[in-house]
Amino acid sequence: MSSQQILAGFHAVTARLRHAPSTIQQIYIDASRQDKRMAGLMSQAEAAGLKCSAVPAERLDGLARGTRHQGVVALAQANELANDLDEILDTLEAQGTAPFLLLLDGVTDPHNLGACLRTADAAGVHAVIAPRDRAVGLNATVQRVACGAAETVPYLMVTNLARTMRHLKTRDVWVVGTDDQASGDLYQVQARRPMAWVMGAEGEGMRRLTRETCDELVRLPMLGAVESLNVSVASAICLYETVRQRQSA
């Protein structure tokens, strides 16, 4: 992953200003915009000791590289929330908190990843994990769609997802995969324990080795005519079943 990120749109830029302003190198704004929302962003940047450079909209189009920017683009250093899964697990163990993780096997659509991060933040997920060779990174589109969640939820890209799953098992994390052929459904999962949900790629589902490495496979009940759900929607359903069980404990 590149050490520099392009943040496009108000949500992505203001979230970085809130959580890690020191990583921002430059903010560019549309010279023709003088509305209240832009004034608020400029005030937030000034409070962080940063200045906004007014440029033509065409310059922003070039910087954003096809991502909808709403008149604001920032160049920033990558904001590393966590580099090591064991560091996260050790911290949670010290706090007496049951780990709650989301593993994405081969999600390559930036809109889906952004939506998954947004839901993960809302549900209190401690980290989202994906393989380096079959996943999208935190690009400008992901940052925009995540609406700030990319600044709060660690996104770890690992060399080998199955190996990471086996390591999670050694740390007593129960690994649950979703598969439309599974006999049990998600409502049978005991989600109060330390656990990780594993979601498959758009259209293809989990790879064979990923599926075989899970401790448990469950399906989402499908009562209508469609055969599957978008990965971000399926993730939301599973994550909030964990939230429901843990809040009712």
The correct answer on CATH 3.40.1280.10 for the domain covering 85-247 is: yes
For the chain, which residues score pLDDT lower than 50?
1
Q: Given this model, what pLDDT does residue 249 score? A: 63
Q: Given this model, what pLDDT does residue 15 score? A: 85
Known binder of ligand: residue 229? yes
Q: What is the pLDDT of residues 101-149, one digit of tens each?
A: 999 998 999 999 999 999 999 999 999 999 998 888 888 899 889 988 8
Domain 4-77 matches domain 85-247 at the CATH topology level: no
Domain positions in the chain are 4-77, 85-247
Known binder of ligand: residue 85? no
Q: Given this model, what pLDDT does residue 45 score? A: 95
Percent of all residues in the chain with a pLDDT value above 90, rounded to a whole number: 72
- Residue-wise burial string across 77-97, b where 16 or more C-beta atoms lie within 10 A, e elsewhere: eebebeeebeebbeebeeeee
Cα separation, 83 vs 59, in Å, equals 34
The correct answer on CATH 3.40.50.2300 for the domain covering 4-77 is: no
Q: Given this model, what pLDDT does residue 77 score? A: 87
